[in-house]
Amino acid sequence: MTQKKFSDQEKISWLRLSRTENVGPITFYKLLERFGSAESALESLPDLAHRGGRLGKLKVCPADLAEKELEQATQFNARLIARDEADYPPLLAQIEDAPPLITVLGHTQLLSKSSLGVVGARNASLTGRKIATHFSGEIAKAGYVIVSGLARGIDTSAHMASLSTGTVAVVAGGIDVIYPRENEKLYQEIAEQGAIIAESPFGTEPLAQHFPKRNRLSSGVSLGVLIVEAAMKSGSLITARMAAEQNREVFAVPGSPLDPRSEGANKLIQDGAHMATNADDIIRELKGLRRHALNDPSGESWKGALSLFTHTPVKELDESLRIRLLELLSRTPVQIDELIRAAGAPAGDVLTVILELELAGSIERQPGNKVNLI
C-alpha cells in the first residue's frame, strides 16, 4: 500500500468525497482512480449523477462541514487517519471496502500490531464470559491485541481481560458517542490504555444499519475472529461471515446444543471454522498467519479494473447502454465482469455508466466486484 503524508486540505477533500451521498468506500476508490484526486472527483460528481439519471441535486458534503469534523477530532484529542497514511491499520487497508478515513482515539501504534477479534452474545452466560475473559487474557499475553465492539456481554469481557496489554474497540456510531452507556467507564479506560476506532462522523448515534459496517472493521483489522456464544441470527455471525469474505480465520468455541446462544458457534464449526477449546489452539494458528499476512499484495486490489479509464475525460455515452444495463440488473448482486460481457460494450464505458448510475441512486455496489439495483 502506498503511504503518504496528507495535508489538511487533502484530508478535507477526502472527507467531503467520502461523506457525499451515494459514495460508499468502494465507489470512493473508483472515483479516486478515475479522476486522480478527491478534489477533481468532487468537481465531476454533479455531472456524473445527472448523466446517470438523477433529477435532483446530489448532496455533496460541504467544505465547512468537513473542516468542522477535522477540528472536532483535534479538540477531542483524536486523529482522522486516511487509508494511505502510515498509521492506518495495515490489514484493514487490504479489504476492498476499507473506510477512506477512520477516527482514532488513543494509542494509534496498537493498530499496526497483530490482533484477534473477539465477539459474541450480548446476553452471554456466566460461562461464556469466563471463556472470553480467559481466552482473551491468554492470547493478549502472547502478544496479540484484542479487538471487539464495546458491546455488553462477550465484548466487555474481552476488552477488560486485555486492557493492560492493549485492546481496540470498534464503535458503530461517532467516536464521541458511548454505547452502551453502561460501558462509559470501560470506554474511558480503553481511550487511556488502548484505542477506539470509528468510521462514522462525530455525533452519529449507532443505529441498526451501522453495526454490520462496524463488524467488517472488527474483522478487517484482525488476523482472525473468535466467536464465543452466538445465536443463529446475530451480529456475531455477520462478523464471522465478513471475516471469511476478507480471507480471515474464523474460530468458534463449541457450546451446549441445548443453549440457543451456542447454536451459531456450533454451526460455524460444522461449516469449517476452527474449533477452539483452549487459547493455545488459536495462538498456534495466529503465529502462522502473522508471518505472511502483511506481505499480502491484495491491499492494492481495490484499484481493480479502473486502469481501463484512469484519468480519462468523462465522455457522453449512448443512452441505450444505460437502458441496457438497467435491464440486465436486478436486486440480486451480479459480478461486474459478467455484466460487461452481457452488455457487449467496451469495459471502460460500462464502468463509467455503473459509476453514473450509482451516484444517481439507481444501483448500489457490493464487495466482491458486484452491483445490484436499489
pLDDT in tens, 225-277: 999 999 999 999 999 999 999 999 999 999 999 999 999 999 999 999 999 99
What pLDDT does residue 304 have? 41
What pLDDT does residue 314 have? 52
Question: String of b and e for 62-97 (b: at least 16 CB within 10 Å)?
Answer: eeeebbebbebbeeeebbbbbbbbeebbbbbbbbbb
Name the maximum alpha-carbon separation found in the chain. Answer: 63
Closest CA to 220 of 79, 116, 100: 116
Domain that holds residue 329: 316-373
What pLDDT does residue 258 have? 92
Q: Are residues 116 and 216 in the same domain?
A: yes
Angle 285-288-294 from CA coordinates, rounded to 5°: 120
The model's pLDDT over 111-123, given as tens digits with 9 standing for 90+, comes to 999 999 999 999 9
Grid cell, residue 141, equals: 499475553
What pLDDT does residue 175 have? 98
Residues of the chain with pLDDT under 70: 1-3, 291-318
| Position 299 in a domain | no
**What is the distance between the alpha carbons of residues 203 and 190, in angstroms, rounded to a whole number?**
19
Out of 103, 123, 152, pick the residue that ends a domain. 103
Q: Are residues 169 and 87 in the same domain?
A: no
Q: Are residues 116 and 96 in the same domain?
A: no
Q: Are residues 270 and 218 in the same domain?
A: yes
**What is the distance between the alpha carbons of residues 208 and 221, in angstroms, rounded to a whole number?**
21
Out of 72, 103, 134, pick the residue that ends a domain. 103
